[in-house]
Structure 1
């Protein structure tokens, strides 16, 4: 009997790893449509550049450096490119997008042995590298609709999280929550359209591509922690009237703005970089939720989802080591 040892993802069922990748891509199509509606040609250029450059880079590395048969047809490079594009502003120059793809595929994925061997989520690693290396380009956010037919010269403005960080939570009374649901807000391509992202989430749950443990634990942690912070802020300011409503609005805005939904549903759930057991997934999700709120409230950046996921990626081997399923036959 031949025993084959291979890296993750290990999928036992009717779906192959390739089918899972393409299912996630399909789940992201509603959000992509929303980004095209609000950001137009810039969204299309950035997304296509990211996808094509990820595919080409992976092909070249496998063909000429690793001397092995290219596996770009498995969908992983396409998904990485799509997620990387979703983490970028729609006015980002093409050459910067390509650099992000090199970091995501060439360094974070292929340098560690390809699919199943990467320690960190490739798309997020590429995004964080660009944020640190090109902060000016990566923090100029095109305004929705008005920038639909513009690209690098699009009209830009601050994101909602940036305004909250600069002006404080008293500004939340001016926020139109319905805009956050449909995607009418500034930010990266995948930060807009909460409803579209949740539609994809329902599809993935229905197809059993992912489980609820990581997304729900992240979102629940962020909501509870943010609600407590908002409530404490109002009560400490001796403004008990309306404190509960203020805290609820503050927590809801934290859920619907920034890249939280995108990260919780589509990137924190990556098979390779997330824990294997249900208990481990919940611990992992709670850690991401706590770190996200901490970075948003007290860190140097208004958004902390990318950093939180990458940090918890590093803890995944430790979680897997200590949180293990019961051995067969043991009580």
Structure 2
């Protein structure tokens, strides 16, 4: 077996494990929101594979090694999990196309991308189409026909009224008068500790991340750095249950894309840091930026923008760690 074949096999095995680890979170999302999650996944997967094949054909590269390595399916899966269920089909297809073209193949393909492809596709869709990207359904979901109607504009059945609601992070960001206790008691987007239902989604992604750690797909540095910094800054800025509170540490850990970001996004090996020290600082930076964007930025979550901003910092982090090691060397 050649060294290149060995690398390809390790990549395929890692991608299979990542896809397997997303299953618990995907199932909870399906339970929470219904068929829109599965339709998103089908659309992103088909688009990612089609774009990958078209680009490889244009570049006169062989299709099988790249299409079969699983990287396109991982990008499609992570993007589908991040997109709002029941968003228009053209938005899902546009985001997946942008992820593959501008996040991956613009820089030469797998192993060369400086930005996380899924987060780049998500961020471009959010900036370009902010209104449909912030339309999250209430947690009752839809039946299959209703979901198809909402996504493709078919007329199988009447669209249910008032099926969209503000997320917990968005409600907290624009809140001016209600205390945290009142929000948790009266706002349907809030659950026990975080967003209703999304608490379980985050716990499911935490379980999947623990599995990947156990399988040594990645090291602990980036996830621990992100979750620890998000916990610490939210603890330092926490003002109890007052109306000016920004939410407890537990609220921030169990709301939004915290666990998905910590274990499936920032651990992407190409756009993330390579050395352990740089990975730790990378995760810390993502956690801090996520909180700052959630609390004082213009978008309710912020994980995608935090990851992309820290992708820009990776070369500097690596140089800093290397210089520090040289100074400390005997």
**Backbone CA RMSD of aligned residues:** 2.7
1:184 aligns with 2:197: yes
Shift >4 Å, 4+ stretches: 176-181
CA contact (8 A) 1:217 1:289 kept: yes
Change (3 A) 1:148 1:39: farther
Tell me by how many angstroms 1:322 deviates: 2.4
CA contact (8 A) 1:215 1:264 kept: yes
- Aligned position for 2:59: 66
- Aligned position for 2:287: 289
**Following the alignment from structure 1 to structure 2, what is the Cα–Cα distance between the partners of residues 22 and 171?**
44
Q: How does 1:1-331 map to 2 (within 5 A)?
A: 16-63=10-57, 65-70=58-63, 71-149=66-144, 150-151=146-147, 152=150, 153=159, 155-167=163-175, 171-173=179-181, 174-175=183-184, 177-178=191-192, 180=194, 184-185=197-198, 193-231=201-239, 250-324=248-322, 331=330
**Following the alignment from structure 1 to structure 2, what is the Cα–Cα distance between the partners of residues 265 and 103?**
23
Change (3 A) 1:169 1:32: farther
**Following the alignment from structure 1 to structure 2, what is the Cα–Cα distance between the partners of residues 171 and 269?**
36
CA contact (8 A) 2:193 2:254 kept: no
**Following the alignment from structure 2 to structure 1, what is the Cα–Cα distance between the partners of residues 105 and 280?**
29
Tell me by how many angstroms 1:202 deviates: 1.2
Compute the TM-score of the two structures, normalised by the length of structure 1: 0.84
Tell me by how many angstroms 1:72 deviates: 0.8
Instruction: Choose 213-222 or 166-175, whichever is displaced more.
Output: 166-175
Tell me by how many angstroms 1:111 deviates: 1.1
Tell me by how many angstroms 1:20 deviates: 0.6
Tell me by how many angstroms 1:261 deviates: 1.2
**1:121-149 residue CA offsets vs partner (Å, 9 max, x unmatched):** 00000000000111111011111124355
CA contact (8 A) 1:164 1:171 kept: no
Aligned length: 304
Change (3 A) 1:106 1:169: farther
Instruction: Choose 88-97 or 116-125, whichever is displaced more.
Output: 88-97
**1:81-118 residue CA offsets vs partner (Å, 9 max, x unmatched):** 00110110111111111111111001210110000110
**Following the alignment from structure 1 to structure 2, what is the Cα–Cα distance between the partners of residues 281 and 169?**
40
**Following the alignment from structure 1 to structure 2, what is the Cα–Cα distance between the partners of residues 22 and 198?**
18
**1:26-65 residue CA offsets vs partner (Å, 9 max, x unmatched):** 00011111111122211111111011110111011102x1
Instruction: Choose 266-275 or 161-170, whichever is displaced more.
Output: 161-170
Compute the TM-score of the two structures, normalised by the length of structure 2: 0.84
**Following the alignment from structure 2 to structure 1, what is the Cα–Cα distance between the partners of residues 241 and 142?**
36
